[in-house]
Amino acid sequence: MLIRHKKASDVASHEITPKDVYVNRRRFMQASGLIAGSIALGALPSAAAVLPAKGQKFADVKKGYSKLGDTDSLSPPEAIYSYNNYYEFGSSKEDPAKNAGPFKPLPWTIKVDGLCNKPGTISFEDFIKPHALEERVYRMRCVEAWSMVIPWNGISLGEVIKRFEPQGSAKYVRFETVVRPEEMVGQRDRHNLPWPYIEGLRLDEAANPLAILAIGIYGDPLLNQNGAPIRLVTPWKYGFKGVKSIVRMSFVEEQPKNTWQVMNPGEYGFYSNVNPEVDHPRWSQASERRIGGSGGGLRGLIAPRQETLMFNGYAEEVAQLYAGMDLKKFY
Ligand SMILES: Nc1nc2c(c(=O)[nH]1)N[C@H]1C(S)=C(S)[C@@H](COP(=O)(O)O)O[C@H]1N2
Ligand SMILES: [Mo]
């Protein structure tokens, strides 16, 4: 058996950069008042985002804004790649990894339409190219009360939106997942969700520097089960806002009806901000299980529960978006 040693160029920055470095960097930036500045600087395009050749890592990933607490450590790749929600491939956690093999994420096009000056149908490559690729390490909190810590590779959603020049009447951005029943076994099951899967954000939420469109994890292009080739990540909201395999982005005036709200308006809303004080009608949201963390095993079945944080720990960055709103009502 050959033992393949990694070349230095194969080693992603997260492997040589322990959590302490993130934490220290954060403290340094806090001390030097660089937090807000670093977000703005993160938008400066130093390099164009391009997919690597098959089997290769992304070549040029800048360290973007990441914030972890003292108890957070990166979830192992095996957990991130095998414990998923992606109903297009089935409704249990193992289904997406098991069933997403036949899905072809390339070639891919994204249609941008609605209330904007620069609509169009754009290839995936051209869609990502003008933007800098960043690593963003975020907590991910599913509404089902489990969580992970994921090192995403993505581009700023706010920067993407600017490019298409939304008009003054546009208040929301709406996203659609691809519909391909031939490749997606869950879309052939008529007792499943209505397709396409829809999500949306208010435009100012979408412009928040934390919001990204992810195209990779751990330096590799997204696997099919994680939403290849491109999906939304909004770390202060419950995971279902993170619509996968996006084929359409529309600027609209009315609040979009997102899939889970349509399915069950008594249990799921539009905003879906992580809030430990507002319980789901069928379970508490005060705490969560960390999947793949130490002691819990990959499924996290016996993981000790940990406290859920307001806005998933990102209140400092996003709370101002909801000033004046009753957070107990706008779930
Ligand atoms: N199209 C689509 N997007 C989706 C879902 C889905 O079923 N279909 N599930 C959502 C839910 S509930 C969660 S928690 C996250 C899970 O992302 P992950 O499997 O990459 O961790 O994807 C979200 N995006
Ligand atoms: Mo979820």
What is the CATH number for 264? 3.90.420.10
Provide the pLDDT for residue 327. Answer: 87
Domain with 322, as residue range(s), is: 23-329
Q: How far is the CA of 126 from the centre of ligand 1 (A)?
A: 25
Provide the pLDDT for residue 329. Answer: 74
Name 1's Cβ contacts closer than 8 Å, sequence gap at least 6.
none
Name 224's Cβ contacts closer than 8 Å, sequence gap at least 6.
89, 96, 100, 101, 103, 105
Provide the pLDDT for residue 44. Answer: 46
In this predicted model, what pLDDT tens digit does every residue of 67-108 receive, in sequence order? 888 879 999 999 999 999 999 999 999 999 999 999 999 999
Q: How far is the CA of 45 from the centre of ligand 1 (A)?
A: 29
User: Has residue 190 been placed in a domain?
Assistant: yes
- Residue 249 CA to residue 199 CA, distance in Å, equals 10
User: Has residue 309 been placed in a domain?
Assistant: yes
Provide the pLDDT for residue 128. Answer: 98
User: Has residue 84 been placed in a domain?
Assistant: yes
Ligand nearest to the CA of 194: 1
Show the low-confidence residues of the chain (pLDDT under 70): 1-47, 294-302, 330
In this predicted model, what pLDDT tens digit does every residue of 309-321 receive, in sequence order? 999 999 999 999 9
Tally of structural domains, the chain: 1
Provide the pLDDT for residue 68. Answer: 87
- Rounded to the nearest angstrom, the gap between the alpha carbon of residue 325 and the centroid of all alpha carbons in its chain is 24
User: Has residue 291 been placed in a domain?
Assistant: yes
Name 6's Cβ contacts closer than 8 Å, sequence gap at least 6.
none
Alpha carbon nearest to ligand 1 atom 12, residue:
240
User: Has residue 269 been placed in a domain?
Assistant: yes
User: Has residue 13 been placed in a domain?
Assistant: no
Which tokens in the block code for residue 182?
Answer: 């031939």
pTM over 0.85: yes
Q: How far is the CA of 244 from the centre of ligand 1 (A)?
A: 6
Ligand 1 pocket, Cβ-based, cut-off 6 angstroms: 84-88, 142, 177, 197, 226-227, 239-240, 242-244
Provide the pLDDT for residue 25. Answer: 39
End-to-end CA distance of the chain: 54
Provide the pLDDT for residue 79. Answer: 95
User: Has residue 3 been placed in a domain?
Assistant: no
User: Has residue 18 been placed in a domain?
Assistant: no
